[in-house]
Amino acid sequence: MFHKASVRLAGLYLLIIMGISLFFSANVYQLSVQEFDHGLRGPGDLVIQQLPEAGFGTVRTNFIQARDQDFAMAKQRVLGRLIFINLLILIGGGFLSYFLALLTLKPIEEAHASLERFTADASHELRTPITAMRSENEVALMDSKLTLKQAKEHLKSNIEELEKLTHLTEGLLRLASLEKTQFNVAKLNSDEVVQQAISRVLSMAEQKKILISSDSAPVSFVGDESSLVEALVILLDNAVKYSPAKSEVAVSVKNEPRHTVLQVTDQGVGIKAGEAQHIFERFYRADTSRSKIDTNGYGLGLAIARDIVKLHHGSLTVNSKPGKGSTFTITLPH
């Protein structure tokens, strides 16, 4: 599909190039012919007029013939050169147009491929719990001896699956709406941002007896409060999710000459070097979280956090040692 589009676009570019080239060639040709006419006929006619009538008939005829021949040859030479140049432009322009068409369509092709991947991943993630619920329901319906207790357990499991689906659709909607979100950029106090984020993960941390500390001196920086709190909540939520009970999570904020740096450090499972570059991709979940830890994550959190930070023209990076812990760093420009 994209190859066809590239060829069509290249054709269009070539048409434009050739249109311009032929227009200039036609003008150059016309101008040259006019100039030859002036240059050859004008002085020639003067010479002929100066020649006495008697005895110079042959000289006159020869002169006119030679002049017309020169005129025709000059026209031919110009025409030949212009055709040659236009052929060169046609060949060179063909290659250039195709190259430019590929260059133009490359970002569109990449965006299309990423959208396709995203749709396929989202459909897959949505289908899994739906299929599970459907088969569970069918089995329950066919069971004539289903007790009230079993039915309630069954409903409970359905609600759990529905909660996962709600979480997933919320993540998908958030990702889709981020680009359009109107940011309310203002001067923020780091203490307020950090405390708001911590308060939202506190109950989960308390369940695992994880201590969240934040003892940096407050600094002020610029950004959209609610979305930056959301990004911090994602990092803190992960830090708690992927850490053992009774461990510690530390949040720090500092102002550097050109940046504000927010860090979330945990003592959790860590991320393997090969996986660190992928964890910000949509739907990516590292092996550690799939196999060892029972979470209802879909691999959308870090993609949302990264998009929020990107929309602030900042960066989100990770530094991690498997088995020791991870540090996620948000760098925001001043």
Residues that bind ligand ADP (CB under 6 A): 234, 238-239, 242, 266, 268-271, 279, 284-286, 288-289, 295, 297-303, 326
Nearest-10 Cα torsion for 116, 122, 123, 129: 170
Give whichever of 4 and 292 is closer to ligand ADP, judged by the CB atom: 292
**Of all residues in this chain, which one has the CB nearest to ligand ADP in the complex?**
297
Which H or E run includes 249? strand 248-255
Per the CB < 8 A criterion, the answer to whether 86 and 21 are in contact is yes
CB of 116: closest distance to ligand ADP in angstroms? 20
Residue nearer to ligand ADP on the CB measure, 97 or 238: 238
Q: How far is Cα 327 from Cα 236, in angstroms, rounded to an integer?
A: 11
What minimum distance in Å lies between the beta carbon of 309 and ligand ADP? 13
- Which contacts of 39-46 are long-range, i.e. CB under 8 A and separated by 24 or more positions? 40/67, 40/70, 40/71, 40/74, 41/67, 41/71
Q: Which is nearer to ligand ADP, 224 or 275 (CB)?
A: 275
Measured from the CB atom, the residue of 17 and 228 that comes closer to ligand ADP is 228
Q: Write down the least CB distance from residue 280 to ligand ADP, Å.
A: 7
Residue 328 bridge partners (DSSP): 264, 318
Closer CB to ligand ADP, 122 or 303, in the complex? 303
Q: Which two tokens stand for residue 271?
A: 């991320």
Shortest distance, position 5 Cβ to ligand ADP, whole Å? 33
And the tokens for 163?
A: 């909660």
CB 287, CB 275: distance < 8 Å? yes
The least CB distance from residue 267 to ligand ADP, in Å, is: 10
- CB closer to ligand ADP, 13 vs 328: 328
At 95, the amino acid letter reads F
Query: Shortest distance, CB of residue 167 to ligand ADP, whole angstroms?
Result: 9
